[in-house]
Amino acid sequence: MRYLAFIAVLTFAVFACGGETPSENGASKKTTPKKKKKKVDGEKVYKQYCVTCHGVYGDMGASGAFNLTESKLTLDEKIEVITNGRNTMTPFKGLLSEAKIKAVAEYTEKLKK
């Protein structure tokens, strides 16, 4: 009898595992949109914080802002300028997260002609 009970438990365990598969699929579907939200849109950040001085195309130059289409800085140097500011340019350290600063720096690379 004990042996039979053991088999019954095993069968039940296998059955229970098999039954979980569809709910696992459902869970992975739910996590997909979360990942999309995490990605920072550099263009959105730029249009919100940088357009006032640099202009939509990066070449407006308001209040002596540097022409970003002609910038010769590397991505790391841009991140540095955006984070800590330079002369009249405001530092964005307290305003934007590191991820946003990186995303917007990458976006300014695209403004180059």
Q: Hey, what long-range contacts does 48-53 have (CB within 8 A, 24 or more apart)?
A: 49/92, 49/95, 49/96, 49/104, 50/104, 50/108, 53/89
CB of 59 to ligand HEC, least distance (A): 11
Task: Give the residues lining the site for ligand HEC (CB under 6 A).
Answer: 46, 49-50, 52-54, 63-66, 68, 71-73, 78, 81-82, 86-90, 92, 104, 108
State which residue, 28 or 87, has the beta carbon closest to ligand HEC.
87
Cα–Cα dist 101/90, whole Å: 13
Phi-psi region of 58 (alpha: psi -120 to 50; beta: other; left: phi over 0): left
State which residue, 40 or 108, has the beta carbon closest to ligand HEC.
108
State which residue, 6 or 57, has the beta carbon closest to ligand HEC.
57
State which residue, 25 or 74, has the beta carbon closest to ligand HEC.
74
CB of 73 to ligand HEC, least distance (A): 4
CB of 39 to ligand HEC, least distance (A): 18
Scan for tokens 């569809």, then name that residue.
22
CB of 27 to ligand HEC, least distance (A): 37
The identity of residue 41, as a single letter, is D
DSSP 8-state symbol, 90: P
